[in-house]
Structure 1
């Protein structure tokens, strides 16, 4: 990542992770490169020419005209980086404790806290979080250290190797599955369940209880459901009821959560719900209110209320389902539905798709208009060839004008022949035979 633009000088401080650079008229120092946003800056008038470190002192040499000026860096902050590189976290802590809190020292406390946790030096980590003011993590680490100290005192050895301590460290890293593994390896099922309960990770809690056949499994499920309802998580509560086989309760919760489509999906798949007319009507009303007309149609079709299903399909623009249903239940309505389907497609600017539906409905004029609007000229001519009604003849003019603009002066139809002629070449128009000349006039 780019730390600074227009840098004429940049150098590491020897034996540390501190970076010094010159950014135009500023001396820039990063005492903790892991936190590049924490930068110390001083204005300088000249150019940095060298960096010297000797006798516990680090100087930046700057030339200002004929003079040479020295800027001394904060050795305490530099020593922190050296201690970190050496893995001496106690020395790093001692250095930081001598410094006042600033953005630079705060970044260093954060770095030290992370490294101390990774090294399982939990007392140092506790001190870091105290300096950072992270009270909740501080309290949790204090409890963890008490467990580790007690184990070391009573059993000897390194208390940080105890399973509870390792589980706590995994939790601090938000690796809850690793924490669960530490508990399960010691058959500490109740502790794993308690961890998930405190974190409100109820799905994992119940999964552990089910896997081990815990005697309080049903109580846990009841507590989970109660927590979901108290916190207004009706959708999740409905899923719990559905998994438990309480489908009616699940439907009620889905409706309460404003999810009628989810309730309809469950109702369609369960005969015992579709047999309950009150429940079906409630779901259908919610679907219609939410403008889920197609889903409402599916539900009505499932309970054999074909008339209402057809109405919902049409209202929701689901004409494919409407036509399929009408072919079985209302054959006389198919032609009307095909025309309505074509009209709907015209509204949606799907002219190409509308043509065939108008043909199926016997609406030749609408089919011709749709073909012309879609610029399907050949299809429009084909439909015109099949017409006996002279009223459709007016569309020959529009088609003729198109072919004239394309300089295609020969077109043949069932009732006309349009030959290439001198007049056509002169005017760019099309000369019809006698029986069609009245249309052009």
Structure 2
């Protein structure tokens, strides 16, 4: 699975090292936890045997009539053996004699993981130092000092001490577990210090609230100031909003370039809507940011329908514009319906534009939209309501469509308004018959 054209594969006796041949290459996996880390050497013959004796491992290769041996790195082999034996000190000692390479780097990582799991923290510190993970190595060094001091005072290895366990949880980024360990020992200050050091202020404040810490107000002020210093105005605005400081929250949202969020808050609070200066600042920011629909909502909320309608029109929020115009500016409805149809045509939504053109009494635009959308029956229905001169130039296009479908019996004619029921037969006879199914499909002009 990890090597194509494999003609030979074998474990090195007494270890987890794998030797294999791939055509003209000798492949060695010193660490099978990282199968992508493979050491390769060119070969001219075929592997016939693998021998290990007197602390030396050789791969026997036949090259024609000659036999050649390739010696493996015994230090890397011994590492795997030491890992299997659980002797991590010996494994680290072997690795320290080797130069850093892709294989040894993978082994250091493996050893660091196993050493942490076994709580052999001094070895884990050595591993992170070798890998160049300075922060982790320093953190573990401080943890080891705590563990050593506890072991000196109380015996054992000190790894069961709550501070050591919490710091190991922090190393794994499991901060909730670290918090739980601290709080089990009633070490509230230490849990709060952990979160403050990580700039996890929300979690720190939650702990302080849960424990009724006397420095809660000071923490909140410090958090707020830190947000301002780090230019996190949005988060600071949320903090002020949660505390009921709505004017300050609006100002912070505007500073953060979030006028829509400021508008949402303003529309939720009557005292903000009554503040003309605040609403003016928000609407100005919304229009500047081309958030016309949100500006229209705010203008409508402060009872300025004229400005609201202008913003809805600029923001192409035609549904809201039409609903507002029906209540306050009925004469504008027709113009808005036409503009709505034009907008839909620009968006290539010809089918949706048809009804808006009909509402706007723009018959020509409605016909062209229907033909463009290939809504042939709708086009015929609208044409039936037009005078002959207007309709004449559109019928050939529809006729070509039905001719392409070989529906030659469809007859297109200017269909007048329907006659009363008692004379319907005479009307049909006079015009030579209407479009089949026309009046049966609910398309009769009303």
TM-score, normalised via structure 1 length: 0.90
Find the aligned partners of 2:108 and 2:370 in 1 and give their Cα distance: 74
| Alignment partner, residue 435 of structure 1 | none
| Alignment partner, residue 368 of structure 2 | 369
Query: Which secondary structure state, in structure 1, belongs to the residue aligned with residue 257 of structure 2?
Result: coil
| Alignment partner, residue 173 of structure 1 | 172
Find the aligned partners of 2:403 and 2:108 in 1 and give their Cα distance: 83
Q: Name stretches of at least 5 consecutive residues in structure 1 with no aligned partner.
A: 421-441
Find the aligned partners of 1:42 and 1:209 in 2 and give their Cα distance: 61
Query: Which secondary structure state, in structure 2, belongs to the residue aligned with residue 22 of structure 1?
Result: strand
Tell me the CA shift for residue 417 of structure 1: 4.5
| Alignment partner, residue 353 of structure 2 | 354
Find the aligned partners of 1:111 and 1:417 in 2 and give their Cα distance: 92
Find the aligned partners of 1:224 and 1:59 in 2 and give their Cα distance: 64
Tell me the CA shift for residue 418 of structure 1: 6.4
Moved more, 231-240 or 2-11: 2-11
- Would you say 1:387 and 2:403 are equivalent positions? no
| Alignment partner, residue 140 of structure 1 | 139
| Alignment partner, residue 268 of structure 2 | 269
Find the aligned partners of 2:104 and 2:412 in 1 and give their Cα distance: 90
Counterpart mapping for 1:70-85 below 5 A: 70-85=69-84
| Alignment partner, residue 221 of structure 2 | 222
| Alignment partner, residue 60 of structure 1 | 59
Counterpart mapping for 1:6-405 below 5 A: 6-388=5-387, 390-405=389-404
Can you list the C-alpha shifts for 1:36-80, whole angstroms capped at 9, x where unaligned?
343322222111122222343222111111111111212221111
Tell me the CA shift for residue 295 of structure 1: 1.2
Tell me the CA shift for residue 240 of structure 1: 1.5
Find the aligned partners of 1:393 and 1:311 in 2 and give their Cα distance: 39
| Alignment partner, residue 437 of structure 1 | none
**Runs in 1 of length 4+ with deviation above 4 angstroms?**
415-420
Query: Which secondary structure state, in structure 2, belongs to the residue aligned with residue 161 of structure 1?
Result: coil
Find the aligned partners of 2:269 and 2:217 in 1 and give their Cα distance: 25
Contact 1:409–1:419 (8 Å) recurs in 2 = no
Can you list the C-alpha shifts for 1:262-319, whole angstroms capped at 9, x where unaligned?
2222222122222222222222222222221111111111111111111111111110
Find the aligned partners of 1:212 and 1:17 in 2 and give their Cα distance: 52
Tell me the CA shift for residue 355 of structure 1: 1.0
Relative distance call for 1:97 and 1:365 in structure 2 (3 A) is closer
Find the aligned partners of 1:402 and 1:42 in 2 and give their Cα distance: 73
Q: Name stretches of at least 5 consecutive residues in structure 2 with no aligned partner.
A: 417-429, 435-446
Moved more, 198-207 or 19-28: 19-28
Find the aligned partners of 2:405 and 2:101 in 1 and give their Cα distance: 79
Contact 2:179–2:191 (8 Å) recurs in 1 = yes
Find the aligned partners of 1:164 and 1:18 in 2 and give their Cα distance: 39
Find the aligned partners of 1:182 and 1:47 in 2 and give their Cα distance: 59
Tell me the CA shift for residue 182 of structure 1: 0.7
Tell me the CA shift for residue 140 of structure 1: 1.1
Relative distance call for 1:97 and 1:369 in structure 2 (3 A) is closer
Contact 1:90–1:124 (8 Å) recurs in 2 = yes
Q: Number of aligned residue pairs: give it.
A: 419
Contact 2:399–2:412 (8 Å) recurs in 1 = no
Contact 2:395–2:412 (8 Å) recurs in 1 = no
Find the aligned partners of 1:164 and 1:333 in 2 and give their Cα distance: 72
Relative distance call for 1:342 and 1:418 in structure 2 (3 A) is farther
Find the aligned partners of 1:108 and 1:134 in 2 and give their Cα distance: 15
| Alignment partner, residue 432 of structure 1 | none
Find the aligned partners of 2:431 and 2:276 in 1 and give their Cα distance: 65
Find the aligned partners of 1:232 and 1:20 in 2 and give their Cα distance: 57
Tell me the CA shift for residue 388 of structure 1: 4.7
Tell me the CA shift for residue 365 of structure 1: 2.1
| Alignment partner, residue 426 of structure 2 | none
Moved more, 12-21 or 373-382: 12-21
Find the aligned partners of 2:130 and 2:405 in 1 and give their Cα distance: 83
Relative distance call for 1:389 and 1:307 in structure 2 (3 A) is farther
Query: Which secondary structure state, in structure 1, belongs to the residue aligned with residue 99 of structure 2?
Result: coil
| Alignment partner, residue 419 of structure 2 | none
Contact 2:28–2:39 (8 Å) recurs in 1 = yes
Find the aligned partners of 1:216 and 1:418 in 2 and give their Cα distance: 94
Relative distance call for 1:412 and 1:130 in structure 2 (3 A) is closer
Find the aligned partners of 2:7 and 2:137 in 1 and give their Cα distance: 43
Contact 2:338–2:362 (8 Å) recurs in 1 = yes
